[in-house]
Amino acid sequence: MKKISILIVGIFLCLSSFGQVVPLNDVINFTPFKKMEKIDRGQLKQMDRTKVKFPTINIEHSSGEFYKLSSTCLLQLNGMMSETTDNYLNKLKKGFDASHSWSSDPGYTSVIKTYNNYQVLIINRAYTEQFISHYSFFCVSNTKVCCLNGKLEYNSADKEQAAVMLDELLKSIRFKK
């Protein structure tokens, strides 16, 4: 019963955190990687994703901006204007952790880190070679009014490369508000 209650609270927090989705450049500045290529939804649809089993970036239902980082790494970023509480990321982490505590997902990890004086919740779901893995991340500005969330989808064999790219991205982010 306790697990169900925690799960319900986690889902409620996720749903209540939706704010006004705004263009990314209204929320942050960031330094793109050398090989980072912004792509539109049409280009994303044309990419050969036949080798991707269970993709985490849904072309039809995803919003935000898309970037191709390498032949096996895709990035999705969403900017939002939404007031959050001081412990928003901690509550979100507890909700995600609780929802995974009763699954047999050995590749699940979550951590809250600090970059450029703002906090980021990073969730990694690393699977075996046959599946695509991904990082999900949630950032909140120090003023608690701007949020950024994203997903970095990568081939499981490229886990180290994906971790480096995510770290570089998060180090380069500067919130505008």
CATH of the domain at 81: 3.40.1000.10
**pLDDT at position 17, please?**
45
12 has pLDDT over 80 = no
Helix axes 2-16, 88-101, angle to 10 degrees: 140
Contact, 137 vs 121, CB < 8 A? yes
**pLDDT at position 118, please?**
92
Confidence grade of residue 64 (pLDDT, cut at 50, 70, 90): confident
Q: Is the dihedral of CA 57, 61, 65, 71 positive or negative?
A: positive
Maximum separation of any 2 CA atoms in the chain, in Å: 49
Please give the residue that has the higher pLDDT: either 55 or 97. Answer: 97
pTM of the model: 0.82
Please give the residue that has the higher pLDDT: either 151 or 6. Answer: 151
| C-alpha separations of 11 from 70, 97, 120 in Å | 33, 12, 19
54 has pLDDT over 70 = no
List Cβ neighbours of 63 (8 Å cut-off, separation of 6 or more): 21, 78
Contact, 94 vs 6, CB < 8 A? yes
How would you label 136-158 residue by residue, b for 16+ Cβ within 10 Å and e otherwise? bbbbbbeeebbbbbbbbbbbbeb
Confidence grade of residue 136 (pLDDT, cut at 50, 70, 90): very high
**pLDDT at position 173, please?**
92
Residue span of the structural domain in which 85 resides: 2-175
